[in-house]
Amino acid sequence: MDYRTPLSRVRGLGSAKSGTTHWWMQRVTAVALIPLSFWLIYFLGLSVTAPYQQTVDWLASPINSVCMVAWIIAVFYHAALGLQVVIEDYVAAEDSKIISIWAVHLAFLFLAIAALLAVFRIVSIG
Give buried/exposed letters for 22-61 (b at 16+ CB in 10 A, else e): eeeebeebeebbeebeebbeebeeeeeeeeeeebeeebee
- The pLDDT, as a whole number, for residue 27 is 96
Share of the chain above pLDDT 70, in %: 85
- The pLDDT, as a whole number, for residue 43 is 93
Average pLDDT over residues 4-25: 65
25: phi > 0 → left, psi -120 to 50 → alpha, else beta; which?
A: alpha
pLDDT surpassing 50 at residue 39: yes
Average pLDDT of the chain? Answer: 89
- The pLDDT, as a whole number, for residue 100 is 96
CA pair distance 91, 113, nearest whole angstrom = 27
pLDDT surpassing 70 at residue 16: no
The dihedrals phi and psi of 91, each to the nearest 5 degrees, come to: -100, 120
Instruction: Write the DSSP assignment of 19-81 as a string of letters.
Output: HHHHHHHHHHHHHHHHHHHHHHHHHHHHHHHS-HHHHHHHHHSHHHHHHHHHHHHHHHHHHHH
Whole-prediction pTM: 0.82
| Segment 61-107, tens digit of pLDDT | 999 999 999 999 999 999 999 999 999 999 999 999 999 999 999 99
CA pair distance 70, 76, nearest whole angstrom = 10
